[in-house]
Structure 1
Amino acid sequence: MFAPVHTLSFGTPGAIAIAPGDVRGTVLIPERCGGYCCGLDGSDGPNLACARCGLAVATRIDDCSLWQAVWFAPDAVRGLPADASTGTTADWDAQGRPATPPIHPSGAWSAQWAAAVGAGLAHLLAASGGRPVALPDGLMTDLFGRLLDALLPSGTPAKAVVPAGPGLPARDPDDRIFLVPKNPRTGEPWRAPGIKQSIPLPFDMWRHLVAPDERLMLPATGGLPDGVIRDDPPPMRPWELFRPDRSVFLYTLARIPEVRQSWLREIYDRVNDRGYAHCF
């Protein structure tokens, strides 16, 4: 941690969290099954034991208003790759998933995008060094522009934000910040020679920013002559300004060493003290 936070986890570092339905070979420890009203809250300590040896190995949480999860104690279990032949090697050539649109059909911004941009904004500020940032026109400006205008000074020269990742040509790294994807399997950001300053985003969101596809997937009978544009409804547009997730922004920024610099610490304190800052 490189900046003050309101709370810190007192659990053992390195715990492994999985969905309760994926757990096998464990039994509940009856005397540790305390909870508030509708389930287990984990306040009594590890409440799952190995069915074979009886060792307490994990804590199940499934009470109301809490995320359902089983947290395995790192000193009782060890993680192994699901695919022993490849381990955790990133496989960027096998990503067939579609891009995640930032706007719901209702016209509301996606909460997933709000969280991802909140984390990305923290990395972008740290990479900027307190200098102005130049964004490409389009969705990138809609997502980050208003926040950067409020948090960074204006003027020139500005650091340019450019996309980088699988399938894109190499760029000159001089005085640039690269928008890179995270691997869906490992969570590791894309790395390439020369890239030192980057903004990591989930792969499907990065893909939408780099190569947006706003076509409507509707069946069409027959065909149209070349050059004729179909009379389809326009793509959805948001009905409010985009607001990144403030909590994710602060959570991420507090864990970046650059927040110790006075200018970035001032931004952290300003956003942290003003719970309803206009840009969030």
Structure 2
Amino acid sequence: MTVFGCRGCEATLTVPVSRVALPIHADQKYGNGPGSLPPALEPGTFAVDPLPSGSPWRRWEELDAAAIEALGWYAPRFSVSVGPVGRVLLTPGDVRGAVIDPALVGEAACCGLGGGEPNMVCVTCGTPVATRIDDCGLRQATWLDPRSTRVIDDGPGPHPVLDWTDLIDQRPDVPPSEPGGGWHPMWAAAVASALAHLLAASGGEPVMIPDRQVAEVFQPVLDRLVGTVAERTLVLAGPGLADAAGDFALIPEHPQTGEPWPMASPLQPVPLAWDVWRHLAFHRLPKPVGRSVPIPAEALPALLPGHRFEPDGQIFLSVLARLPEVRQPRLRVIYDRGRPYHYSFYAF
């Protein structure tokens, strides 16, 4: 288990936590409230952001091509962070020995704490150590600042990394709909990321999806972006599934390590968050009983929420901008559709 503390006074700032992969929805903003979104992580876990974050920020025009690529961007942004790497995401309940300092709370948020600069200080020495977020539409989170915090205890934890077979048995999926009937925000984030990777793999060419449930999620959006006349196919692949013939494979990412499922075929992999992939791979409605006449697919009940699905546009643009393939003309045209909205909205 890992424990984080203050660099200045060595005071303990967290309960013991185990490391997991940083989820794609860690920084998600979804809707406009009321209220914030649930934390991106389970209690007792933490994740590390490997990319620069926070201030200072630089306008795109201020950086040369080499500096931009070193920061991991391949398409224009309004501004990019050149701040520190290694900030640590925690659920707010796992923080100890740090409190919100009203003097550090900015005024840019709507109904709560919107993030930005650190707004929590170490109780022992008063050093700013973390940023608490709970504004409407944002995920509840506490981010430790790597400049003022560090690991003070790092030993083996009680939660070993599960293999792929154990994941199927022990890590349930996340249903696509919320209790109110709308699409789950995690699905909007996960599909947005996978869609960006699929466009990069296909070069922006049309793709057909034979699996009905996967097609319900991806095909309408994909057709609106790149057209419908497709010669190549996207199939599901991963642990517990039989091999399928196709050109691209939607494969799971390990929720603890972040590693994609190892492909053993010539299919081009398209990574998808485990919690969504597992549902698409294994959740099926029961077949009708006592019928001798096959039911056509269009007559079957919907497997997913009924209204139109919109992936998270901000996450889609951010992921696409970090893939070198976005420089290809077809993908750059798709990416540039979001630029008038300052990368916070995308009309699929």
Could you state the TM-score of these two structures normalised by the residue count of structure 2? Answer: 0.61
Quote the residue 2:141 is aligned against.
Answer: 69
Contact 1:32/1:47 (CA < 8 Å) preserved in 2? Answer: no
Aligned to 2:307, the other structure's residue is in SS state coil
Quote the residue 1:208 is aligned against.
Answer: 279
Quote the residue 1:102 is aligned against.
Answer: 176
Measured against aligned partners, the alpha-carbon deviations of 1:168-196 in whole angstroms (never above 9, x if no partner) come to 24567xx7211111222223321234567
Quote the residue 2:26 is aligned against.
Answer: none
Equivalenced residue count is: 258
Letter in structure 2 aligned against 1:3: A
Aligned-pair identity (%): 39
Q: In 1, Cα distance between the equivalents of 2:276 and 2:140?
A: 26
Shift of 1:79: 8.7
Whether 1:179 and 2:250 are equivalent positions in the alignment is yes
The counterpart of 1:167, out of the listed 240, 245, 268, is: 240
Structure 2, unmatched stretches of 5+, are 1-72, 292-300
Structure 1, unmatched stretches of 5+, are 217-226
Quote the residue 2:195 is aligned against.
Answer: 121
Q: In 2, Cα distance between the equivalents of 1:238 and 1:63?
A: 27
Measured against aligned partners, the alpha-carbon deviations of 1:9-42 in whole angstroms (never above 9, x if no partner) come to 4542211121222113x34486953343987666
Q: In 1, Cα distance between the equivalents of 2:244 and 2:346?
A: 38
Q: In 2, Cα distance between the equivalents of 1:44 and 1:103?
A: 34
Q: In 2, Cα distance between the equivalents of 1:170 and 1:35?
A: 53
Q: In 2, Cα distance between the equivalents of 1:33 and 1:215?
A: 54
Q: In 1, Cα distance between the equivalents of 2:175 and 2:139?
A: 25
Contact 2:105/2:119 (CA < 8 Å) preserved in 1? Answer: no
Q: In 2, Cα distance between the equivalents of 1:215 and 1:79?
A: 51
Shift of 1:121: 0.8
Q: In 2, Cα distance between the equivalents of 1:43 and 1:250?
A: 21
Shift of 1:166: 1.2
Aligned to 2:80, the other structure's residue is in SS state coil
Whether 1:141 and 2:215 are equivalent positions in the alignment is yes
Letter in structure 2 aligned against 1:15: R
Could you state the TM-score of these two structures normalised by the residue count of structure 1? Answer: 0.74
Aligned to 1:151, the other structure's residue is in SS state helix
Quote the residue 2:129 is aligned against.
Answer: 58
Letter in structure 2 aligned against 1:270: R
Q: CA 1:272/1:183 → structure 2, altered by over 3 Å: closer, same or farther?
A: same
